Chains A and B, each alone.
Chain A
Amino acid sequence: MKQHYMIIDVALCFDCNDCFMACKDEHIGNNWAPYTDEQPRHGHRWMNILRTERGKAPRMDIHFLPMPCQHCENAPCIKASNGAITRREDGIVMIDMIKAKGNEALVKSCPYGAIYWSEEAATPQKCTFCAHILDHDPVLTMPRCAHSCPTNAIVHYLLEPEEMEAKIKEEALEVFRPELGTNPHVFYKNLYMYTKNFISAEVLVNGECFEGANVTLSGASAASATTDYFGEFKFDDLADGDYTLKVTSENLEYSTDFTIDGKSLNLGEIILR
């Protein structure tokens, strides 16, 4: 049976918050029973935009990870819910408004922190993939977050699992925090921008930015690059580990060892002699 999926491209998210506001617009003041109660006016982040700042000025970047309910195939919340949370045949994980009433413990069952407690409705709540729209709305055929996204960073798909498998391979999609083993239906492109690190520097020769130097990276992973017109290079997608960096140009050479340990590195100026 076709399943609902979401693919989110970290490279295209710039924290515009259209998704976050569209979610509020849809759910605050609107009761979409039996799907979900009204979202409280403040506090909930059914679309939670996580943020990471990497490196140090001026060689830094900032990336965002829009994180809704992951709609896991192997959802810890379902296991903890005693039947109050179920997974529909089309893959959408739903909290039963009535059965879950009063069960605040369910909030803690989600390792992604995607379930929120509503004091007003005395019920746990979360993203439903806008299932009420997917099921009934003839105009909007996708979740509000995806419809509002100006860069198509968030795209909704309804696919057979095999089609999705092919897409995952083709587009190198990943899930967030795979170590949890929850098998989410939310997939990410360019996830490394949020989860991994980079090293960057500027190469100088005779006091000027040096374009065209060869830079090679070896160690925990390998890559090569040439410096741009500001003498800069950047290796991204680096896992934690030990690396060696070599910068060469004709008879000039520079080499250094470094360790990535959860942080991106701006090595500053490398003077090539």
Chain B
Amino acid sequence: MNEFKKLTRKTQMTTGGPVFVYVDEEQDKIVRMTPMDLDENDADSWKIEARGRTFQPPRKTTYTAFTAGFKGTIYTDRRIMYPMKRVDFDPNGERNEEKRGESGYERISWDEALDIVTGEIRRIKREFGPGAMVIEPSSHHLWGNIGYRHSALFRFMNTVGMTYADHNPDSWEGFHWGATHMWGFTARLGNPEQTDLFEDCIQNCEMMVFWSSDPETNNGIYSAYESTIRRRWLKELGVKMVFIDPYYNNTNLLYGGKWFSPQLGTDSALALGIAYTWLTEGTYDKEYVKTHTFGFDEWTEYVLGKTDGIPKTTEWAAEECNIPAHEIRALAREWAKNKTMLAAGGLGGWGGACRSPIGMDWARLMVALITMQGLGKPGINMYSTTQGVPVDSDFYFPGYADGGIAGDCDNSAAGATFVYRMFDGVKSRPMTSNLSTGSGVHLHRMRLPECVLDDEVEWYGRGFVGASQEQQFHKYTYPAAGYSRIQMLYKYGGPHIGTMGEGNRYARMYRTKRLPFVVSQSIWMEGEVPFADIILPACTNFERWDIGEWCSNSGYNPDSHNQCNHRVIMLQQKCINPVGESKSDYEIFRAICEKLNVGQVFSEGKTDLDWAKQMFYASDLPTVISWEEFFEKGYYIVPVTNKAPSAPAFRWFAEDREQDVRGWISRFRPGDLVDQKGLQTQSGKVEFVSNSLKRFGHYDTDDKERPLMPMYIPSWEGHHTDRIKTYPLAVVSPHPRFTFHTHSDGKNSYVNDIKDHRVLIDGFYYWIFRINSVDAEARGIKDGDIIKAYNERGSVLFAAKVTERIPAGTCHCYESSAEYVPLGEPGNSTDRGGCINILTPARLMSKYASGMATEHCLVEVEKWKGDN
């Protein structure tokens, strides 16, 4: 028998859950990573009594497949092993910008790479002044409060003097731009509070309606399969489940339950058909509506057709959404009869439908429906089962949006609490922005190509508009008055092409002299990395130190750790040395700063581990565990013994009490409310006619997609458009299951071998496009064929999956392919990588709502003939 290697257990965190990492230290090699089995010294789990049973979660964490297979992205031939320079790029001569995406690369030393990058930074600062250097990270890169984009990247950005390309709230859109005008919650970007709702749900709820909500695919956010056990308990208790989703989704298939598949872009019509039934049959909570809403009568007139002559009957809805009228009535009646919770998206809010052209109306109608049934009464709430478990949220540990080592109060949540705990202002100082501020320079991530290519760009609202509803109406223009145009793009993390609308725009953006210098700091050669002039190889968080808490965003997603059955705060231990010549993001930033003579300002002489230790002392951890013990064990489970008394979300509102739930609004934004009672809206009630929209005063004229009240506005990418004649298939493209954004896709990882992720055909792993048998047959397409989907925005190759999970006329294709493989001219030819976002609209939600609406697109599909 062989001797087996001695393995050392390390701890690490990912977007798909925490892991124990087993390392062969002698060989400097990660052998395996597993979910965590909690031990007897870890704090006890919560316990809930309900309906004669006791419910307690398993003493083990869960993870997703892409985390289980993470090693396949650490050890891969797609890792960038050393710094590189585009062969035809000469910073002192011909730059050949138009060749980006085609030219090859040559290996250079770190010194050479840093000299070129810092040389360009000096030149641009001298010649163009501030604002000309733009830095743009992807969403959800790696895990850890030190290495994260809000942390090390912001500290670098602000030390050097770069401008941030504002992110749009790509998972919130309809709730952000729509629901905030109905119930406030701007501090949550329009999502509802979720505190203590699991207990309420398991004790009182009789029926769950999952609407554009698929927690078994999207895991709330980051929480892997923590909530799966909760839904299983609900099923065991006989709680009825209904799923409304164009696609027979992975949650539906696990729990059964009635499936409604509305025609794409017609969810609002379905919602109005339900409301009509309740209004005409008198099966809504009339007393509640009388005391808790504003403008309800005016909206009722619209639903009943008194103002526009179209009663929103179930027959009318059936015509729009292809669901029989009698089934809509049955759903409405059963909903009204039972204490029902509405899972409107995967996180009590969100949901793919909110990222579609109808997103703002859909999100507002979700608020309308649950309000009509008595939002906040026992068993009646907007709740998706992914959050609201009874953990102790008062135990302080910062989330990644709390600003980390930057403490940037303009671009993160640092100013709420964290910055005062982290920096004493003497030995350690935050690094705030003087450019990406209210009055500084702004770029909108979805308008980045236009900011480069067009003379002037304008939009409303600065990305995440978390301050107030009113700030959504601030107008921004690029270039900002007095500032230069972009001279340099410092790209960090995953690609735009697979994640933003009309992705080819980004490829074209690179291929112009209007963008003289591009750096890409990336772990893998993928997506748009091969458009850069200089490539700097970064490493994963498994190759450096960090500290973080599972699922803890904080900021606009406060107390989101209450998705997990246990609060897991982790020292993310360096497991191996960086692969090849790669370095941690922090070390790369530090090296650049040192060359620019601001190294000490950036790093304060600290390593990433030093910062992790400083963060440990900025949290409540030192009150319960020593640094040495934490360092040794690697994690801490927060006990539930000090949990605040149960205060279910919206109960205070339903009962006209003072706001008593935990989270931003009560703790940090008291000014949002009047007397701490009522909602953030002008009336303090749920506004069916929005005062905040009325005040802006443009609605008689030109915001067609966001009327004063939630209505059915036919989708501008839907079946009522002329384009449907040319592009007859409507594609729904939700967030994917087997990669977090582009984080785990491609990379020659074995994630590619997952049958429902990519399909290997003739040596290439194609992204999957799901098509009904009727549509497939009409086009001579068989399961496993390579197909080309196209519209006027571009064309993309996929592997066809012929299935009944999606009805005829609609197709399903997850977004977020990491691969961009143009068959011809980059930006103007067919992509083989599978970026459905090449075909999705670049259009923003409406004239005044700068959200993206990439969930739906119209296409035609054919069997691929081998053309470009």
User: Does residue A136 face the partner (Cβ distance < 8 Å to B)?
Assistant: yes
B275 to chain A, nearest CB (A): 19
User: Does residue A209 face the partner (Cβ distance < 8 Å to B)?
Assistant: yes
Q: Is the CB of B65 within 8 A of A18?
A: yes
Q: Is the CB of A24 within 8 A of B32?
A: no
Q: Is the CB of A24 within 8 A of B2?
A: no
User: Does residue B63 face the partner (Cβ distance < 8 Å to A)?
Assistant: yes
B70 contacts across to A, CB distance below 8 A: 25
Q: Which among B2, B254, B324, B806 has the highest number of chain A CB atoms within 10 Å?
A: B254
Of the candidate stretches B412-420, B682-690, B747-755, the one touching chain A is B747-755
Q: Is the CB of A231 within 8 A of B330?
A: yes
Q: Is the CB of A58 within 8 A of B261?
A: yes
Of the candidate stretches A9-17, A169-177, A249-257, the one touching chain B is A9-17
Q: Is the CB of A15 within 8 A of B804?
A: no
Q: Is the CB of B33 within 8 A of A132?
A: no
User: Does residue B172 face the partner (Cβ distance < 8 Å to A)?
Assistant: no
B860 to chain A, nearest CB (A): 22
Q: Is the CB of A28 within 8 A of B754?
A: no
Contact with B along A18-56 (1 / 0, CB 8 A): 101110111011100110000001110100010101011
Interface residues on B, range: 35 or more
Q: Is the CB of B334 within 8 A of A229?
A: yes
Contact among B2, B65, B258, B803 with A20 in the assembled complex (CB-CB below 8 Å)? B65
User: Does residue B62 face the partner (Cβ distance < 8 Å to A)?
Assistant: yes
User: Does residue A230 face the partner (Cβ distance < 8 Å to B)?
Assistant: yes
A70-104 residues at the B interface, CB under 8 angstroms: none
Q: Which among B29, B224, B228, B804 has the highest number of chain A CB atoms within 10 Å?
A: B804
Q: Is the CB of A28 within 8 A of B327?
A: no
User: Does residue A220 face the partner (Cβ distance < 8 Å to B)?
Assistant: no
Q: Is the CB of B330 within 8 A of A230?
A: yes
Q: Is the CB of B34 within 8 A of A148?
A: yes
User: Does residue A260 face the partner (Cβ distance < 8 Å to B)?
Assistant: no
A132 to chain B, nearest CB (A): 7
Q: In the complex the two chains form, what is the Cα distance from A204 to B68 in whole Å?
A: 47
B31 contacts across to A, CB distance below 8 A: 30
Q: In the complex the two chains form, what is the Cα distance from A200 to B229 in whole Å?
A: 28
B312 to chain A, nearest CB (A): 19
Q: Is the CB of B64 within 8 A of A207?
A: no
Q: Is the CB of A57 within 8 A of B753?
A: no
Contact among A14, A24, A230 with B750 in the assembled complex (CB-CB below 8 Å)? A24
Q: Is the CB of B65 within 8 A of A57?
A: no
B250 contacts across to A, CB distance below 8 A: 14-15
Known: A18-B63, A144-B34. A62 touches B805 (CB 8 A): yes
A204 contacts across to B, CB distance below 8 A: 326
Contact among B2, B66, B324, B755 with A34 in the assembled complex (CB-CB below 8 Å)? B2
Q: Which among A49, A58, A207 has the highest number of chain B CB atoms within 10 Å?
A: A58
B229 contacts across to A, CB distance below 8 A: 151
Q: Is the CB of B330 within 8 A of A21?
A: no
User: Does residue B760 face the partner (Cβ distance < 8 Å to A)?
Assistant: yes
Among residues of A, the one whose C-beta sits closest to the C-beta of B337 is: A229
User: Does residue B260 face the partner (Cβ distance < 8 Å to A)?
Assistant: yes
Contact with A along B331-345 (1 / 0, CB 8 A): 101100000000000
Q: In the complex the two chains form, what is the Cα distance from A265 to B224 in whole Å?
A: 34
User: Does residue B714 face the partner (Cβ distance < 8 Å to A)?
Assistant: no
User: Does residue B164 face the partner (Cβ distance < 8 Å to A)?
Assistant: no
Q: Is the CB of A62 within 8 A of B248?
A: yes
Q: Is the CB of B330 within 8 A of A53?
A: no
Q: In the complex the two chains form, what is the Cα distance from A69 to B380 in whole Å?
A: 47
B33 contacts across to A, CB distance below 8 A: 25
Contact with B along A107-141 (1 / 0, CB 8 A): 00000000000000000000000001000110110
A127 to chain B, nearest CB (A): 15
Q: Is the CB of B65 within 8 A of A17?
A: yes
A62 to chain B, nearest CB (A): 5
Q: In the complex the two chains form, what is the Cα distance from A244 to B380 in whole Å?
A: 42
Q: Is the CB of B330 within 8 A of A229?
A: yes
B72 contacts across to A, CB distance below 8 A: 24-25, 28, 41
User: Does residue B253 face the partner (Cβ distance < 8 Å to A)?
Assistant: yes
Q: Is the CB of B259 within 8 A of A58?
A: yes
User: Does residue B440 face the partner (Cβ distance < 8 Å to A)?
Assistant: no
User: Does residue A179 face the partner (Cβ distance < 8 Å to B)?
Assistant: no
Q: Is the CB of A148 within 8 A of B329?
A: no
Q: In the complex the two chains form, what is the Cα distance from A86 to B789 in whole Å?
A: 50
B756 contacts across to A, CB distance below 8 A: 15, 17
**Those 8 A-B pairs whose CB atoms lie nearest each other, nearest first:** A150-B225, A21-B68, A21-B69, A17-B65, A209-B330, A14-B254, A150-B62, A21-B65
Using a CB–CB cutoff of 8 Å, the interface residues on chain B facing chain A are 1-2, 4, 9, 29, 31-35, 62-66, 68-72, 75, 216, 224-225, 228-229, 232, 240, 248, 250, 253-254, 256, 258-261, 324, 326-327, 329-331, 333-334, 738, 748, 750-756, 760, 772, 803-807
Could you list some 10 contacts between A and B, CB below 8 A?
Answer: A14-B250, A14-B254, A16-B65, A42-B750, A60-B804, A148-B63, A150-B62, A151-B229, A230-B331, A269-B324
Using a CB–CB cutoff of 8 Å, the interface residues on chain A facing chain B are 12, 14-18, 20-22, 24-26, 28-30, 33-34, 41-43, 45, 49, 51, 53, 55-58, 60-63, 132, 136-137, 139-140, 144, 147-148, 150-151, 202, 204, 207-209, 229-232, 269
Apart from A16-B65, A34-B1, A61-B253, 14 more pairs, CB < 8 Å:
A17-B754, A20-B753, A21-B68, A24-B753, A25-B32, A25-B33, A25-B71, A28-B71, A57-B772, A57-B805, A60-B805, A229-B330, A230-B258, A230-B334
